[in-house]
Structure formats: structure tokens, C-alpha cells
Amino acid sequence: MQATEKRNNRRFFRWISSGFVQERSRAFLIEEGFEVVPVPEVPGAWAEVDSPFPLGSSLANFFGLMYIQDLSSMLPAMLLEPFPGARVLDMCAAPGGKTAQLAQTAGPEGLVVANEPLARRLNTLRANLARLNLVNVVTTGYSGQDFPGENIRFDCILVDAPCSGWGTADKNPSVSRIWTQDKLRPLVKLQRELLAKACSLLAPGGTLVYSTCTTNEQENQDQINWLLERTRLSPSGKAEHLCARLSLPGLSLEKEGMLGLDGREMGAQSFFMAALENPGMRDKKEQVDTLPPSAWERVEPARAGLHTSPENACLYLFGDRIFLVPDRALPYVRQGLNIRGFFLGRKKKNRCLLSPRLRLFLDPDPSRGYNAGHVQEVRSIVSGRSMPFSSLDKTQTVGLFWKGLPLGRLKTAGSRAFWSEQKF
């Protein structure tokens, strides 16, 4: 009981980077007064132990060096576990926490298509992905059950479905009153439509993970049984492997391929997950058509003001906005998928004004940018204070660093540099 209460008072998160950048990000957070520790039960998860103010108000969170996420919410992407270079579809992606996990696991050569049908939530998803600097993700805005493309296939698909949310009843007691039995029928129907569409998009040898934050069997076990009876999919051994790998209280193998998490035992929301496999062998000799549509205008990285060129991706101009699109997304575009790549900035007359959120592709030498020595200096900058800055380079943006850690880009005017997100 004491352990559960202790977990309930903590915030959990994941780092968006690894190696040196993660170590510097942690030091950045510590200098703000936070004490954080890794969570042994969930690889990659970290917990806030002590804090001077809410973790969401930290500079590390502001600059997208981390993503705050409930522990149980991290598990579906861990269960799917895309292989490096995988083609992944996150069918109901907003706000983007699981998308971020999938993008990190698939790696720079992988591709994640993050789909969200609701415009408001899609905007939130895109804002989060921009803040996190995840360039191997493209976004789409289709109703999941109507996701287009007769010949489109994915190696891994996550269906984190809309649900009654009964698993969050401890935090949101009203859900059991809102989702009465008569209101569940349209929701159950939608979940089945999403599963049926996901099944049609799954490549041979691929894995499908279905997850909900409800404890209602109609939305969980019954849905998986319904799909197994009507398709060639079979339960995946990934569920058993994940259950054995994690020493999480409340996590159990309910049936072959199906996991349940009793959130009351670990101070989190309850969750249901199932992993299914499509029979057949994965085609390891994927034919990639990297020709963009003829109407797309390509932009050279140097002309856009990037100091390093992106790998496995190109820059394209749409109106006055510049997007980075992974090469592996182009075959989906040619199949009719309407995507949006990673937003880099805007073309202004003959110059490109890069987004302040873009910390990638910076000049790697912090001395040529603004290299802050204290976190309070960084906080002053993002609060609107301009700083003295002079450079022989007449670019409109310069890198913002903290003790060599890339954070973003400052706009320059005369002999001053300042943080500005206007018109972005």
C-alpha cells in the first residue's frame, strides 16, 4: 500500500534521446532542482522523486528533451516493439506519447505514420512531435476505419482505441456514469471497424497490438476473440515475453496474447493489451520508390540554413512552409496517402526562417551559437528577454545551447538574440 501511494505522488517520463544527450538532459533537469531516478520495473521509464515545481513546467519538458507519460501508457508500444527500420502505423496517435516510443524503437531508418482523425487532437499531436524533434514520423488525419490505400502495408500497427475509460475510474469517477451499457454499442462497433482495417493493412509477418484503458471485457477480450475468429491472425508470444520481462505489480497474462494491468496495484490506470501476428514471412527486400511527386519542390539543406544534412529524408517546400519528409514515406504518398512531414520553418523572400523548436541540424560548435551557462539564463530567454549576440554569420537564427546541450534556435536582430515562436 505504501509503495502504491508513493507511486501515485510521482510523475513518470521517458527521455527522448540516449547517450551523451540524455546525460546532459538529465543534468539540465537536475540543475533546475529536480531529483529523478530510473524505474527498474519498466526499462526506459524515469520517475520524479523530488521537485521544486511541477515537472511539466520544467525547461527539459519545454524543449522536448523528455515526455511525461503514465507508466501503464508506456506498455503498448513496448509490447509492439518495432524492429529497427520497421514501417509502423499508430492508428489513433494523439497526443503522441506512444508515437514517440515507436519512433525511437524503429530508429532513424524506420518510419512511423501517426494518424489522428480529430483536427484539434491532430494539431496537439503535431505540436508535440515538433517539440520532441522526431523526424522519422509523418502525420495523417483520416478516420482510422477509413484509412486509405489498397496496397499500403505496415510491419507493425498500434490500435490504441477510443474506449469507455473504465480503467481510469480512480482518477475520473464520472466515466462509469457516462459510459452506460446502452452507450457502449457504437463504441464497440467502432473498435471492431478499427481492428478490421488494421488487419487489412498488416504486412505478412507483421504484429498488431490493440490496447485500451478500460476494464470492460466487451471492449477488450471479446474484441480480440471476435477478430481471431474472422481473420488469419494468431496470438503473439510477445505478450508472454513482456509479462516475464517486467516485474510490474498487477500485470498478468490473461490469455494467450492478452495482457491485463490492474492499475490499483501500481498506482496507475488499468490497461488491456493484446498482441496478434499475421502469418507469413516478412519481406526483407523491400522495394522503396523514393521519387517524390512531380509537383513537390525540393529544397537543398544548405539553402534552408541547415549545418548538417538529414539522412534518409529530403526537404520540400509547400507554399511558404518547409517540411522534412522521410524517403520511406514517399511510396505511401504515391499510393494516395495525404501526409505531413516534420515542420522545419518558413521561406521568407530569399531566406529560410527555421523554427525555434528545431534543435537538430545545428552547427555542432556551441561557441558559434548562444551557449548559456545557467538554467536561469535559459528561462529568462524563453520568458522573452533578449540577449547580446554578435556574429559574422548573417543568418536569421542561431543555436541555443545549455553547456553544449542543443535546445533550439534563437532569432537574431542587430546585435541581439531572442526566443520567438510567432508565426510558427
What would the pLDDT profile of 324-347 be if each residue is shown by its tens digit? 999 999 999 999 999 999 999 999
Q: Domain count for the chain, please give it.
A: 4
Q: Do 81 and 38 lie in a common domain?
A: no
CA of residue 393 relative to chain centroid, distance: 34
Position 176 pLDDT exceeds 90: no
pLDDT in tens, 228-282: 999 999 999 999 999 999 988 899 999 999 999 988 777 678 899 999 999 988 8
Shared-domain flag, residues 203 and 87 = yes
| 213 labelled catalytic | yes
Instruction: For residue 318, give the DSSP letter.
Output: E
Rg (CA), the chain: 22
* Cell triple for 193: 471497424
pLDDT surpassing 90 at residue 366: yes
C-alpha cell at 398: 542561431
Q: Judge whether 65 and 16 are in contact, CB under 8 Å.
A: yes
Contact of 369 with 362, CB cutoff 8 Å: yes
Looking at the fold, whether 235 and 252 belong to one and the same domain comes out as yes
Q: Region 387-392: what's the mean pLDDT?
A: 82
Write the CA distances from 293 to 69, 87, 105, 108, integer angstroms: 37, 20, 29, 23
Do residues 217 and 124 share a domain? yes
Task: CATH number of the domain at 399, please.
Answer: 2.30.130
| DSSP SS3 for 321 | strand
The C-alpha atoms of residue 391 and residue 208 are separated, in whole angstroms, by 52
Give me the percent of the chain exceeding a pLDDT of 70.
91
DSSP 225-240: HHHHHHSS-EE-THHH
Instruction: For residue 1, name the pLDDT band (cuts at 50, 70, 90).
Output: very low
Q: In this structure, are residues 399 and 63 in contact, taking their beta carbons and an 8 Å threshold?
A: no
Mean pLDDT score, 391-404: 83
pLDDT of the residue at 184: 85
| Domain final residue pick, 68, 98, 114 | 68
Buried b (16+ CB within 10 A) or exposed e, 163-200: bbbbbbbeeeeebeeebeeeebeebbebbbebbebbbe
State yes or no: pLDDT of 320 exceeds 80. Answer: yes
Grouping H, G, I as helix, E, B as strand and the rest as coil, residue 22 is helix
**Are 114 and 223 within one domain?**
yes
Q: Both 134 and 177 in a single domain? A: yes
What pLDDT score was predicted for residue 282? 82
117-156 per-position pLDDT tens digit? 999 999 999 999 999 999 999 999 999 999 997 789 999 9
Q: Are residues 189 and 97 in the same domain?
A: yes
User: 198-218, pLDDT tens digit by residue?
Assistant: 999 999 999 999 999 998 899
The grid cell for 169 is: 475510474
Domain extent for 339? 297-354
* Residue 317 φ then ψ, to 5°: -100, 125
* Helix and strand element counts for the chain (H, E): 12, 23
Identify the active-site residue in 156, 163, 199, 213. 213
Q: What is the DSSP letter of 333?
A: H
- Residue position matching grid coordinates 480480440: 224
**108 and 14, same structural domain?**
no
Q: What is the CATH number of the domain that holds 45?
A: 3.30.70.1170
Query: Are 132 and 242 part of one and the same domain?
Result: yes
Of 328, 354, 380, the last residue of a domain is 354
Q: Are 307 and 99 in contact (CB under 8 A)?
A: no
Q: Please say whether the beta carbons of 324 and 299 come within 8 A.
A: no
φ, ψ of residue 274 to 5 degrees: the values are: -140, 140
Is the Cβ–Cβ distance between 297 and 347 less than 8 Å?
no
127 and 139 both lie in a single domain: yes
Classify the phi-psi angles of 308: left when phi > 0, otherwise alpha if psi is within -120 to 50, otherwise beta. beta
Q: pTM for this structure? A: 0.93
Burial of 132 (0-12, 13-18, 19+ CB in 10 A): buried
d(CA 200, CA 35): 46
Q: If you average pLDDT over residues 97-102, what whole number do you get? A: 98
pLDDT averaged over every residue in the chain: 90
Amino acid letter, residue 228:
L
Cell (9 digits) for 409: 534556435
Question: Which residue in 164, 220, 168 sits closest to 195, CA to CA?
Answer: 220
Closest C-alpha among 13, 14, 274 to residue 159: 274
Q: Which three cell numbers stand for residue 54?
A: 511541477
Q: Which of 45, 68, 91 is the last residue of a domain?
A: 68
Write down the pLDDT at residue 247: 80
In this structure, the answer to whether residues 59 and 81 fall within a common structural domain is no
Instruction: Over range 292-306, report the average pLDDT.
Output: 92
Q: In the 8-state DSSP scheme, what is residue 90?
A: E
Cis peptide before 40 (omega within 30 of 0): no
Strand partners, 112: 88, 137
Asked if 346 contacts 352 with a C-beta cutoff of 8 angstroms, the reply is yes
Q: How far is CA 161 from the centre of its chain?
A: 16
Residue 134 lies in a domain: yes
Query: Are 26 and 113 contained in the same domain?
Result: no
Question: Is position 174 within any domain?
Answer: yes
Distance CA 98, CA 88 (A): 12
Answer yes or no: is 302 within a domain.
Answer: yes
Residue 288 lies inside a defined structural domain of this protein: no
